[in-house]
Structure 1
Amino acid sequence: MLGEAGYAGFTIEQVARRAGAGKPTIYRWWSGKPALLIEIYARQPLDLSGTNTGSLQGDLVAALGRLLAFWRDTPAGEAFTALLVEAQHDPAALDMLRAFVAERSFSLADLFNRAARRGELAPDFALAAGLDLVSGYVWARLLTRRLEDDADSLASAARLMARGCLHR
């Protein structure tokens, strides 16, 4: 439904109608639209294995490419975009988004943890800041629908992100 009608057309009423169920049935399973969007996203398998290239910059290039392809090629991109939009005006959705992102950021955290084990990271590196840096970049690409496979752009972004994190 998100792919067909977009965020504006994705309502609990439409979900119930499409499922051949009543709204109370939908609400029995999900507390509302944000919870349903998280479920849609969580059911899509994001595989960041094989992104260990031996350097933070290389790992970032590999992970960014996979994440953008994941959002481009699965319903996850529409679901996450809708959740980001919903969170802008619904405090409960914002709380759900924050909790979901905190729970799901372990894949990206692994990139930085590997870099730390290799001795690449600056002594004052903060994992939360590194994750925000990556998230900000990919979320901007998602929200502006720039999910194409642009190797040069990804390499440039990864190089800039890595430079800010590396031990000098």
Structure 2
Amino acid sequence: MVKATRAGPAPARPGQGGERQSVGARRSVASEQAILDAAEALLLEKGYAGFSIEAVARLARAGKPTIYRWWPGKAALLLDVYHRQKREPPPDETAPIEEALVRFLRHLFDFWRTGPAGDIFRAIVAEAQSDPDARRALVAYLAERRAVFTAMIERRRARGETELPPDAALLWDSLIGFAWCRLLAFDLAADDGEIRRYVHQVATGFRPG
């Protein structure tokens, strides 16, 4: 299992310009770092079953009200830990769009397969089926990721790229649907050729005309 690196500050979520959005009052950077460090360490040691806001508060020496003020529930905190572990490489927006999409899916499958992230995300999806707070956190996370993807497509369009999808959000949903189907079915062994065939078929289907 590949353990997540906890050194250094947590990366900003894409599309947030390096500044995190606060659920409650303005966050203390030091306190936020301590809480995320504690949450990540607890998750690596105890797994999802042993993860709780109470345990994070004890390990971080933080008050539960502080955590709940910044994260509305367990799923929201888990999603921040999940994204922190992701360490996505900077996207190469000069690469052909199909190649960029292949790299994205390949990185996502590797990330889910080689560490605890796949189990974490499955657990968040499962919890969202019965917990309204988890559902809201998951929906917000997916909306943010969709917005980042569509913004990338629009930047390419503004540079005059051709053969881009007219509906970038629908293309995103198709890519994520493929990835989620494999994740939830515990089938992350897609090789490079399979990913390339899928991306080519989907991308060409979304091209104008």
TM-score, normalising length: structure 1: 0.76
- For the pair 1:145 / 2:186, whether they are aligned, the reply is yes
The correspondence of residues 1-168 of structure 1 with structure 2, limited to 5 A, is 2=43, 7=48, 9-12=49-52, 15-16=55-56, 19=59, 25-26=63-64, 28-30=66-68, 31-44=72-85, 45-50=87-92, 52-54=94-96, 56-109=97-150, 112-113=153-154, 116=157, 117-121=160-164, 125-148=166-189, 150-168=191-209
Task: Give the Cα–Cα distance (whole angstroms) in 2 for the partners of residues 91 and 73 of structure 1.
Answer: 30
Q: Aligned-pair distance for 1:127?
A: 2.1
Contact preservation (8 Å) 1:69, 1:148: no
Answer 1 or 2: which has greater helix percent: 1
What are the Cα deviations for residues 36-85 of structure 1, in whole angstroms up to 9, with x where unaligned? 2112112122225236422x322211111112122223443333222111
- Change beyond 3 A, Cα 1:127–1:17: closer
Residue 100 (structure 1) shift: 1.4
User: Deviation of residue 14 (structure 1)?
Assistant: 7.8
Contact 1:81 1:142 in 2 (8 A): yes
Q: Which runs of 5+ in 1 are unaligned?
A: none
- TM-score (normalised: structure 2): 0.63
CA change 1:19–1:50 in 2 (3 A) is same
**CA distance in structure 1 between the partners assigned to 2:194 and 2:45 by the alignment:** 29
Once residues 155 and 94 of structure 1 are traced to their aligned partners in structure 2, the CA distance between those partners, rounded to angstroms, is 32
Q: Structure 1 residues 5 and 132, CA, compared in 2 at 3 Å: closer, same or farther?
A: same
> Structure 2 CA distance, aligned partners of 1:27 and 1:84?
25
What letter corresponds to residue 161 of structure 2 in structure 1? R
Aligned partner of residue 53 in structure 1, secondary structure:
coil
For structure 2, which runs of at least 5 residues remain unmatched after alignment? 1-41
